[in-house]
Amino acid sequence: MATLTAGAPLLSAQNRNTVPLFNVASGAGTTEVCVSGDYAYQARGSAGVSVVRISGAGAPAYVGSIQPYQGVGNTDIQDVETVGNILYVGNEVPNNSATPHTGLFMYDLAANPVNPPLVGTITWGAGPGYHLGASLHNFCIDVSAGRTYAYIASAISNAVEVFDVSNPALPEYKDALRPPAGIYGLIWGSVHDVTVRNGVCVSTWLDGGFAIH
């Protein structure tokens, strides 16, 4: 078994004294990585998502890319995550970008893991509350009780915006999570990261520690 980490060589996960097995050169700008089956998916800012084959015949190698927008400078892919057969791609829309503004893209890896079809988005104006998730810094996906929720560290509202993405083609806005007022009643600033475990959402804030919901 092996694992690929962003910006680092492929390492043996069964040996605490790990040694490099392979290094896959994909250029600068990788901010996050996730793995599904034989492929790793790298978040690479304006370059979109790089797809790297990490198992099977031959050495790991770059095999393709996913570019949500073609020829439009409104892509800054910051985060990626796979759950089941869906690849979730988070976009922090650069300032002064052309519309449409889309914060979350969803792709069907079962159909094609290298060039997956787009099956859903959270795009400004496309549905109730969608504007709150139309640009994000980070996100996490939580699957429990028969539904799939996206917890979005919104670059629009500076809160954690919650969407039901059980049906990627029709996301449903559910709620906003905000921290209590900080010291002296000041607002805690922008949400930076979010994770969910066992029904508890933990978020970190650039100017105020972390909150638990």
User: pLDDT tens across 119-170, in order?
Assistant: 999 999 999 999 999 999 899 999 988 899 999 999 888 889 999 999 999 9
Any idea where the domains of the chain sit in the sequence? 29-178
pLDDT of 71 above 80 = no
Cα–Cα distance for residue pair 188/182, rounded to 1 Å? 6
| pLDDT, position 8 | 46
Give Cβ neighbours of residue 14 (< 8 Å, ≥ 6 apart). Answer: 1
pTM for the model? 0.83
User: pLDDT tens across 13-56, in order?
Assistant: 555 555 555 566 655 567 889 999 999 999 998 889 999 998 86
Q: DSSP letter string over 51-101?
A: EEE-SSSSS-EEEEEE-SSSS-S---EEEEEEETTEEEEEE-PPTTPPSPP
Percentage of the chain lying above the pLDDT 70 cut: 77
Q: Which fold would CATH assign to domain 29-178? A: Methylamine Dehydrogenase; Chain H (2.130.10)
